[in-house]
Amino acid sequence: MSFVGRCALITGIVMASFVVATPKLGTSATPAGRAVELPVGRAVELPALPPDLAPAATPAPGRATAMVDAAEDTAPAWMNLGVAVLDLTTGELAQAGVERFYSASLSKLILIVDMLDRDVELSTSDLSLINRALSLSDDNAMNALWVKFGGPAAMTRVASTLGMTGTSTPDDPSQWGEAEVSPAGYARLFQHIFTEMDPQDRKVIIDGLSAAQPRAADGYNQFFGLLGQPAQVYAKQGWMYYGSKLYLHSAGVLDTDARDYVIILMSAPPVTSKAPAVLSQVAAAALGAAG
């Protein structure tokens, strides 16, 4: 037999052996998506997923959320409450309820922030008006500041610069109490005051708020809401009768040993003498949830 013939014979024997030794595959494949049963054997520990692929744990609600929930649970529906709480340490913001209100006297603080941030020249008389507008919520002091320092433009300027949602200047530029504000937007204002403002400007505001008296310049008892609590708070109050509604607001910062919280309580209940006491109960519930 020739050399070529011997090679062909050997090759044929090898191929025949391969065909006999290889098990025949089935003609039907496992349908897509069907689980395939594997032989039982020793368990194999799979490696942990990288941190960027591992499922993220759902964060537990923080104190701000608990405080908002407590306020909402306490307020009767007729209060038409809007509430926001901002944790100044973690940045957690929680909000619920009505989203926009007439500002009443809360616009006073917005104007004063604008004046201080723009570093306008302030006389001794101007500083006295600022203190009266903050401590006694003096409307005459606000009228003078509103005209002298361009109140309508200040509302728009501060809202735009700080990103205060739901905040706008009044349709009638002479009616500063009809500027529109929101709980979340006003929380941003206090965040700016306590974490971003020049320390000397911040002191002007804190000194004014700290000097709040029980009786405002118009005789209204302004120790309701946050100012009605036995706690360290710096708050600006607002009240305004408007038709059948009473716009009643309490907005400020709770100072605790652990951390500080911005607490904004805005409401528009029907005119009733019960409203201030109810807002004080709402504030007490919110502060109680702070821990």
207-265: pLDDT as tens digits: 999 999 999 999 999 999 999 999 999 999 999 999 999 999 999 999 998 899 999 99
Question: For the residues 139-147, what does the mean pLDDT come to?
Answer: 98
Can you say whether the dihedral through the CA atoms of 90, 96, 100, 102 is positive or negative? Answer: negative
Give residue 228's pLDDT: 97
pLDDT over threshold 60, residue 194: yes
Residue 142 CA to chain centroid, in angstroms?
Answer: 28
Give residue 291's pLDDT: 82
**Confidence class of residue 32 from pLDDT cuts 50, 70 and 90?**
very low
SS3 188: helix
Q: Give me the percent of the chain exceeding a pLDDT of 90.
A: 77
Q: Is the pTM of this model over 0.95?
A: no
**Confidence class of residue 31 from pLDDT cuts 50, 70 and 90?**
very low
Instruction: Tell me the average pLDDT of the chain.
Output: 86
Give residue 60's pLDDT: 53
Question: For the residues 123-148, what does the mean pLDDT come to?
Answer: 98
pLDDT over threshold 50, residue 54: no
Q: Which CATH class is domain 63-288?
A: alpha beta
Nearest of 197, 177, 196 to residue 238 by alpha carbon: 177
Measure the CA–CA gap between 225 and 251, rounded to whole angstroms: 8
DSSP state of 270: B
Measure the CA–CA gap between 167 and 183, rounded to whole angstroms: 10
Q: What is the pLDDT of residues 58-76, one digit of tens each?
A: 445 689 999 999 999 999 9
Give residue 48's pLDDT: 52
Segments making up each domain of the chain, as ranges: 63-288
pLDDT over threshold 50, residue 29: no
